Amino acid sequence: MKSLTALATLAALGLASAASADIKIGATMSETGPAAFLGDPEAKTLKMLVEKLNAAGGINGEQIELVLYDDGGDPNKARTFATRLVEDDEVKAIIGGTTTGTTMSIIPVAEDSEVPFISLAGAVEIIEPVKEWTFKTPHTDRMACEKIFEDMKARGISKIGMISGTDGFGASMRKQCLGVVGNYGIEILADESYGPTDADMTPQLTNIKNTAGIQAVLNPGFGQGPSIVTRNFQQLAVGLPLYQSHGVASKSFIDLAGAEAAEGVHLPGAALLVADLLPADDPQKPVVEAYTAEYTAKYNEAVSTFGGHAYDAFQILMQAIERAGSDDPSAIRDEIEKTTGYVGTGGVVNMTPEDHLGLDLTAFRMLEIKDGTWTLVE
C-alpha cells in the first residue's frame, strides 16, 4: 500500500514537472492575516481564472501554471516569496501585493530581476514615479478624492469639513484629498480625526457641526469607523450631505450603519458593486455581470472590488502574453504597457509609458444610498 502511494506521488511529481514547461505565472497574496478580506477573494479569483483558461485550451497553445504563495500581509514574507518566485520558480510575471506594504517590498525584486509585476494595492506611490516593470489595477485614493470633489463642485459646495480615520487607509486618503482639494476651489474648514477602533465620534462631529459655513462633510475611512461616523452624524442631526469613501463601498456598510442613518450618503464606488444598476449600453456591464455570475456560482459568496482587481490584472497579463506571442518577460512588459481599451471590472484601461494604471475618473461611479440600497447618481 505504501509503495503504491509512493508510486502515485512520483507520478504526480512527474506530471508536475512535465507541466512546468508551460507558462509560469507567480502570485503572492495575503490570503490570511489582517488583509485576508482583500487577499482571499483575489486568490480565489486567480485560481478560478487559471482553471477556466486552461480548460479552454490555455494561451498561445500553452497551459498556464499558477504558483501562488500566501504572505499573510507581511511585507518581509512578500519579499521572500517574490524572490523565490523569480529565482526558484522562474515565473514570467508576478501578480499580487495585496496591500501597499507588501507591494512596496515586491517592487525592488521585480525591478532588479526584470519581471513584469502587476500590483493589486491602492496607493498612488506604486506607480508614481513610474517604474519600468511595475503596473497596478486598482484605482488610487487620489482618484476617489477627485471624484468626490468633482461631485461637490457640481453641487455648488465649496466649504467642507473632513473627519478621517488614523489607520493607513484613512491617513493616506486624507493626505491625497488635501493635495488635490485646491484644484476644485474647495476649502476644508475643519479637519478632524478618529482612531480605527473608536466607538463614538460625536465630539469631532459636534465641532464640525458648529463650524460656520460648512456645506458638506467628507469621511475618508475604512472598516468600522465610517459606519459609526454615519450613525453619529444622524444622532447629532447635522443635516448636511455626508460623503463616504470608496473604502466602504460594500453591502455590509449599509447593514453596519443602519439603513436609516445611511440614507442619503454619497460615495464613489466601482461599477462592479452596482452591476445590476448599470444601463444596458454601459461598456463595463457585460464584464462585471459575467465576473459576478462566475464568481458567485463557484464560491457562493458576493463579489468584492478586490477580487475584481485580480480579475483585471490577470486579463491584462493574458492579453499581453497573447499579443507578445511569447513568454519572454521583456516582451510581456512591453505589451502590458501598450494595453489600450481593455474594459475591466475597475474601468477602461489605457496604459502608456507614463501611466502604468491607465484608469480615469469614469472608473468611479457616484453612488447614493436610498432606502437601504445603492442608486447611481449621474
Partner 1 sequence: MAELMQFVLSGLTVGAVYALVALGFTIIYNASDVVNFAQGEFVMLGGMITVFANMAGLPIPLAALTAIVVTAVAGVALNKLAIEPARGAPVVSLIIITIGASIFMRGLAQVVFDKQLHRFPAFTGDTPIMIMGATILPQALWVLFGALVVFAGLWAFFTRTLTGKAVLATSNNRLAAQLVGINTNWVMTMSFALSAGIGALAGVLVTPITNTSYDVGIALALKGFAAAMLGGMGNPIGALVGGLLLGLIEALTAGYISSVYKDAAAFVVILLVLFFMPRGIFGKSSTDRV
Minimum CB distance to partner 1 smaller for 133 or for 306:
306
> What cell does 72 get?
499573510
Q: Which of 219, 234, 339, 345 binds partner 1 (CB under 8 A)?
A: 234
Residues 48, 294 contacting (CB under 8 angstroms): yes
Minimum CB distance to partner 1 smaller for 203 or for 283:
203
Q: Is residue 296 close enough to count as binding partner 1 by CB under 8 A?
A: no
Among the residue ranges 11-19, 30-38, 278-286, 349-357, the one whose residues contact partner 1 (CB under 8 A): 30-38
Q: Is residue 362 close enough to count as binding partner 1 by CB under 8 A?
A: no
Q: Is residue 168 close enough to count as binding partner 1 by CB under 8 A?
A: no
**Minimum distance between the CB of residue 118 and partner 1, rounded to whole angstroms?**
25
Q: Which residue, chain included where needed, has cell 452596482?
A: 274
Minimum CB distance to partner 1 smaller for 202 or for 319:
202
Q: Which residue, chain included where needed, has cell 462592479?
A: 272
**Minimum distance between the CB of residue 204 and partner 1, rounded to whole angstroms?**
5
Neighbours of 341 (CB within 10 A): 9
SS (H, E, C) the chain: CHHHHHHHHHHHHHHHHHHCCCEEEEEEECCCCCCHHHHHHHHHHHHHHHHHHHHCCCECCECEEEEEEECCCCHHHHHHHHHHHHHCCCCCEEEECCCHHHHHHHHHHHHHHCCCEEECCCCHHHCCCCCCCEEECCCCHHHHHHHHHHHHHHCCCCEEEEEEECCHHHHHHHHHHHHHHHHHCCEEEEEEEECCCCCCCHHHHHHHHCCCCCCEEEECCCCCHHHHHHHHHHHCCCCCCEEECHHHCCHHHHHHHCHHHHCCCEEEEEHHHHHHHCCCCCCCHHHHHHHHHHHHHHHCCCCCHHHHHHHHHHHHHHHHHHHHCCCCHHHHHHHHHCCCCEECCCCEECCECCECCCCCHHHEEEEEEECCEEEECC
Q: Is residue 20 close enough to count as binding partner 1 by CB under 8 A?
A: no
Binding mask 34-73 for partner 1 (x = CB under 8 A): x-xx--x---------------------------------
Q: Is residue 264 close enough to count as binding partner 1 by CB under 8 A?
A: no
**Minimum distance between the CB of residue 25 and partner 1, rounded to whole angstroms?**
26
Residues binding partner 1: what is the number (CB under 8 A)? 34
**Minimum distance between the CB of residue 198 and partner 1, rounded to whole angstroms?**
8
For the four alpha carbons of 310, 169, 289 and 258, in that order, the dihedral sign comes to: positive
Q: Is residue 352 close enough to count as binding partner 1 by CB under 8 A?
A: no
Q: Is residue 353 close enough to count as binding partner 1 by CB under 8 A?
A: no
> What cell does 47 get?
485560481
**Minimum distance between the CB of residue 202 and partner 1, rounded to whole angstroms?**
4
Minimum CB distance to partner 1 smaller for 30 or for 137:
30
**Minimum distance between the CB of residue 82 and partner 1, rounded to whole angstroms?**
25
Q: Is residue 304 close enough to count as binding partner 1 by CB under 8 A?
A: no
Q: Is residue 252 close enough to count as binding partner 1 by CB under 8 A?
A: yes
Q: Which of 62, 167, 198, 360 binds partner 1 (CB under 8 A)?
A: 198
Q: Within 203-232, which residues bind partner 1 (CB under 8 A)? A: 203-204, 206-207, 210, 223-224, 227-228, 231
**Minimum distance between the CB of residue 205 and partner 1, rounded to whole angstroms?**
9
Residues near partner 1, by CB under 8 A:
34, 36-37, 40, 166, 192-195, 197-200, 202-204, 206-207, 210, 223-224, 227-228, 231, 234-237, 252, 255-256, 258, 260-261
